[in-house]
Chains A and B, each alone.
Chain A
């Protein structure tokens, strides 16, 4: 497969599948087969590209100029590969889960749901493989627009209001700030191509760098940096598979991924470190981490709590970039993967609980763990990974982030990471504890249901297996973190030199 073809496939295959999905509107089983097959095939193509990348093949593809000098161009590099692998891999899981959830809840407009979902994945692939900031921006906006109908899915007043906030903030920040930042970069540097070491050195007055970075950092609304984080809780009105897609796979990861790309390939880590242009961002990200965690503790709605947790965790990655050190970038990149796996587990568990019991508030979930042991076990593992306990994936990314903070001598940031881990424990583990220890037999008489097996009443199997799989994934990531390290190494350490204290896991 030539790179041109493979890259085009990753983008057009999910988009093309929407036609089939639309045609198969009346045949749900065939429709779901199409959706699953596309997801699996996409993953295979991405894996093939992964191998090519490892083999050192140059993977670029240029389509045509949109504006003079500004082509739609693609180039596969390690960060993008990581993001694409996560997005395409977790799409399979989410696709399986969606079947259980959408059917279990008898949702309407399922075909529209699957179509928008596929377009969102297409857009994510475009973002992952974009070869310049211009291409990335185009797919970024497609992702925003294609997920709007997903958020507004239920068409209720609440859903509409939430979707309005979602679209308002994401479009507002991207056109209001990011577009200006991109055009500014274009005017100053004369190029928008991603290149290791950045394109802005000597092109722009160093005193203006923090402002340009601010336009980018706030313009990438999908990274949910405070104060532009409101869209994420607002989007909680969506069905849970959408939340899983938004919070683990596509949207927020696209945001922080863009943030890393801008830091590494537009500004360049060295330039940021020399000029200190990202120092303010580091403090803001640190504030975001703590503040969002505290807000999460006050939320009784499980999905809302997870949403604020996401805001907090995303700022880890922004912080990793803002530290302007190789280890920070490494930690940030790893956290994209680790957090994706952990958070999708948590959301799918929340969805499974909703499908089985129609409960959304944590205070109502006392004792549910005994009825839904698999769901709760998966939740526990996901939570522990987010907290960062070995042997779960999340521990590695925190390890590198802290190393990065130590590397730059930002001791306060080490404190932020530690405090945040404690807060994670405080808002995630009570959910599990209540499930297993509090309450007598669930008062809603689940056990009286005729189909109960020894008091166990899980959600449909389509809803339970996926979170269990991703929970196992969290454990596996702990042992395979070395692969991610090797993948990201050329980006984080462009000179090829490993600093002291950094070792392969």
Chain B
């Protein structure tokens, strides 16, 4: 039975949560809804692990939907790059559900819980679909599935704070603009190539050459995805959305949504456009790189002055996206590896941090810093998780953040610039400031008299600590993530792209070695 399903894993990856979503809504019982949702996400996780195991050696799985051969039919295409992202999304998705169960009890009206799980599963499906599909238009379809359900998920925060509605509305407008830009870009591509299959697009664009249409298409897709992944200064929707969404949603979105958008940008930049038009490389060097650095500093500074823990972490997320973009903008194998490994590392770290904050919200009812004085003694496990996550954000050794910094700085030095290395560490030192504000408040401020909070329930602490453990484990032993990220970078950089890079940076030694790591 299992072996019969084996060839259909790519479609099952999306189908399982997709079919579970309406079932959950139909049953209407919270208990059954949760169980179904959890089974669906857990199965998804197992599938993505199996997929990654198949492609980690560099091979590619191509699945033809309905037996229609690509480029005519829709193709699901799994290589090391998206298998890695699939794993991240499904891992976080499966971990958040047990956590969400207790968390939403306090944050969302009980009668709407089943709909919450439906939205959650749809969002989950959308993110997986965007990642796995090899069809450009299919990307748009899944993107809309995930986005629409995300707007609803954010709006669920209105049960606690009405501002969630404005935040969701804001996100809706910005997200829709992003999606529209993306689909306009696709239209241009279809116009010049007549195909929508991503691999096919890449091949046909080579013969089209450097025309204005192609450049315009690139810009539309770039800006569309830039909005979705909160590239500075298009991040304005993010802080409010993360702050007012229910805690479980924030943890899930922070760890997955922007990461998937970043993956789409990577896929289009390197598999479709392949750096063949000079305009693209210039965009990375002169637009993405400065914006990434601006994000690293501006957003980190903004984080320092936030009084709300969720908002503080949201700004930190914008800064962390900056790190990923910076790695990618070096346009080298190490740089891409750095960007991709940070994608995973940051997902784990930020997931853990937002979950810890969710635990605080559960017990304290607030995420404002002033309400957290002396909380380190009353909620020792939650705060310890937060501190470890915070250390990872700073990039202290033995945490995943350190591994990311290591690759990033290495990429910067290979690019020949000590200045970038200096900027990377300087901005991570700002993280010390904002994390330590929290640590001092929680541990060194006296506890207001007569106030006692209980530790969050085990069902919330366990997922939190699972992520904390992951962010320590992959920081201590990064062989698995390093090789996966390196493979993913190789998968994105096919031979054409590599040649283009060599022409751009003839002296770059790392490229001459190819994917030796």
Contact = CB atoms under 8 A, between A and B. Distances in A.
A145 interface: yes
Contacts of B436: 164, 167
Q: Which one of A66, A137, A138, A176 has the greatest number of beta carbons of chain B within 10 Å?
A: A66
A141 B398 CA distance: 10
Given A167-B436, A171-B432, A187-B414, A138 B517 contact: no
- With a 10 A CB-CB cut-off, give which of B403, B405, B414, B444 has the most chain A CB atoms: B444
B429 A183 contact: no
Interface centre among A138, A155, A164, A187 (most CB of B within 10 A): A187
A179 interface: yes
Nearest to A137: B397
Contacts of B421: 180, 183-184
A65 B425 contact: no
A168 interface: yes
B149 to A, nearest CB: 38
B215 to A, nearest CB: 35
A55 interface: no
Interface in A162-185: 164, 167-168, 171-172, 175-176, 179-180, 183-184
Contacts of B462: none
A66 B472 CA distance: 11
Nearest to A149: B443
Contact of B413 (A138, A145, A183): A183
A180 B429 CA distance: 13
Contacts of A186: 410
Interface stretch (B88-96, B100-108, B474-482): B474-482
A437 interface: no
A67 interface: yes
Contacts, number: 74
Given A66-B477, A66-B478, A176 B409 contact: no
A179 B429 CA distance: 12
B429 A141 contact: no
Interface in B426-448: 426, 428-429, 432, 436, 440, 444, 446
Contacts of B482: 67-68
A65 B477 contact: yes
Given A141-B397, A172-B429, A68 B406 contact: no
A160 interface: yes
Contacts of B26: none
Contacts of A164: 436, 440
B479 A65 contact: yes
Contacts of A65: 477, 479
Contact of A179 (B409, B446, B478, B479): B409
B335 interface: no
A155 B444 CA distance: 6
Given A65-B479, A145-B391, A155-B444, A168 B405 contact: no
A183 B432 contact: no
Given A67-B478, A68-B479, A180-B421, A172 B432 contact: yes
B126 interface: no
A291 B264 CA distance: 58
Contact of A167 (B395, B413, B432, B444): B432
B396 interface: yes
Nearest to B418: A180
B406 A180 contact: no
A168 B432 contact: yes
A209 to B, nearest CB: 14
Interface string B265-296: 00000000000000000000000000000000
B196 interface: no
Contact of A66 (B395, B405, B426, B476): B476
B183 interface: no
A175 B403 contact: no
B429 A171 contact: yes
B395 to A, nearest CB: 7
B6 to A, nearest CB: 31
A171 B394 contact: yes
Contacts of B422: 176, 180
Nearest to A144: B396
Contact of A152 (B405, B413, B444, B477): B444
Contacts of B517: 68
Contacts of A160: 440, 444
Given A183-B410, A184-B418, 6 more contacts: A68-B517, A160-B444, A164-B436, A168-B432, A180-B409, A180-B422
7 contacts: A66-B403, A68-B517, A137-B397, A141-B397, A164-B440, A184-B421, A187-B414
Interface of B: 391, 394-398, 403, 405-406, 409-410, 413-414, 418, 421-422, 425-426, 428-429, 432, 436, 440, 444, 446, 475-479, 482-483, 517
